Chain A
Amino acid sequence: MRYAYYPGCSLNSSGLEYNMSAQAIAPLLGIDLFELPEWNCCGASSAHLQDHTLALALPARNLAIGEDLGLSLAIPCAACLSRCKATEHAVRSSEETHTLIESLIDRPYTAAYPVKSLLEVFIESSMDLLQDKITKPLTGLKAAAYYGCLQARPTDYMDMDDPEYPQTIDIIIEAVGAEPVDWAHKTECCGNGHPTAYPKIGSRLVNRILKQAEISGAECIVCACPMCFFNLDMRQKALGQKRGRPFNLPVYYYTQLMGIAMGLPPQKLGIDKHSVNALDLLSQKRYIPTAGSAAEGGPA
């Protein structure tokens, strides 16, 4: 299956690991991520605070390019996804908006090809193939699936399987042989940019999620959004210091776990780049060779 891959600005920066892992596993699972040519910023987090029309027009251009290619967009970043889905919804539900947007981007856009999250793409088209490709099932790993807020809401158009109790990441966790834990904060907000701008509010939100994950017995958190990943991974150290007891919850993208289960080297998936050491847990569980033997025993 071919998709127009829209990395957005974060996948080559803060979300590099997501990009690496997704690009690494996609071809193995029969998914062709063709990068959208001449893509522009989706405007997330700032455009819709400035100008509502602009906030629709920015993603519309990308969507129109995709439509021109006859491809659905596959979007890894939850914020990009949210903006694109918002545009798609607005164009579909009002002929007036539709005309306005087309005149602004100066090309036709009919919302004919549904926008998909990368998560959705993997769930829809690769689950069967995945079963054949798994060489190292992650047996015994307890993982908390964390979806964040943007993938699930607003419920009108985000089409998550279940906005209050989503299952898609849990399904992937099960598929790679690990054990998803049941916990209450799957869709709680991680605070997005707030931990930087308003540390008091932001860190409380992150803290709450980490604490609940810990209580649930999870050994790691699995997410599907670069912003969530960033917050949960990078803030752990400071929050641990603050409470006087460190958190030790490696955070993975679901694509990374899929890669490991398929026997790909962790470096190729960017697992060596996390703030919270994410390699140790994997080697402890013997999913990857221990750090010492890595040099000689890398996969072929």
Chain B
Amino acid sequence: MRKIAKTRIDDVLRALASHYDLYVPVEGATTRTSDVTLWQEGLVNASRFRLYEEGLPLYWRTNTGLSPKDLFFPQTEKMYTAVSQNKTVEIYEEPADAKPIILFGVRSCDMASIDCMDRVFLQKGYEDTYYRNRRQRTHIFALGCSTHEDACFCTSMDIDPQAAPAADVQISDLGDAFGFTPQSAKGQQTLAYIDGFLSDAYAATPLPTDPMLINVPLAGVTEKLETMFDHPLWDELSPRCIGCGACTFLCPTCYCFDINHKSPAHTHIVKQRSWDSCMFIDYTCMAGGHNPRPSKTERVRNRFLDKLLYNRQRHGRVFCVGCGRCVAKCPVSLEIATVIQKIQAAEVNP
């Protein structure tokens, strides 16, 4: 392991940024101007990954308020533009960028979520070109957690907050320094650019992770859910939901999108895709007006069955990584940890 003092981290970042599009965790709603940096103060963790620029207020305390998924799967993504000229139509594809990317400081939970996303976009027999383009040129620096949010519960999901084996480089929190351990060839290669700033850290041990406040073991939940499609639990839970998209947009494993267009001029149509939320009333609404999930009961049921049952059937793992974002942010506390508890407590008639 090689290390650098936390106070010197900018040296490392600056060096990386000269070779890569470097994304780092930054405080929420930040504007970087020529002579000042401005961000919204508040108790809410609204940090997110942003392209590194010197002077941005970096955020290291816990996992970011917004997940890194939008780097591979942007909230709104232009796909192509159709232009009608003299009664003919031409299509312009969006040009693909090629510069390599470093995603710096991803936590174990989000690392696991990237695995979820990979399963959806790359491993189901069809490769999503837009996703692949970004994912393939990205090198990931994972960061082990010493502190965590109250809402975190990755340990319940069998995730080690200190270790993300799938990352290219594992960063460990050594107290006043960050330790870097390469875990792949790509990782080795990226570390070469910053090696000059690093010193050896023999026998350094990362700070331990504080114990999590939420403990919701998953044992048996998936199996139980197989019998719970018509369970009254959903009727009992759903009224609380206010039907916003906060949970889905914050969730690092939610991957639904909607393809739509806008028309900047009579002659132009831009096709784009943007995140959609299964909690929105119009999510399943069909052209004729029929909605197979007409009420919140169906929508809430779907979301949790999807996370905990369907995705396991379809993609081989539960699509919750215990990042705690929905637990922290659901306006009405109808989040997955609570729901797992309720499922476990529910009585099922054989």
A–B contact, 8 Å CB criterion (strictly below):
no
Q: Write the residues of chain A forming the contact surface with B, with a CB cutoff of 8 angstroms.
A: none
Q: Write the residues of chain B forming the contact surface with A, with a CB cutoff of 8 angstroms.
A: none
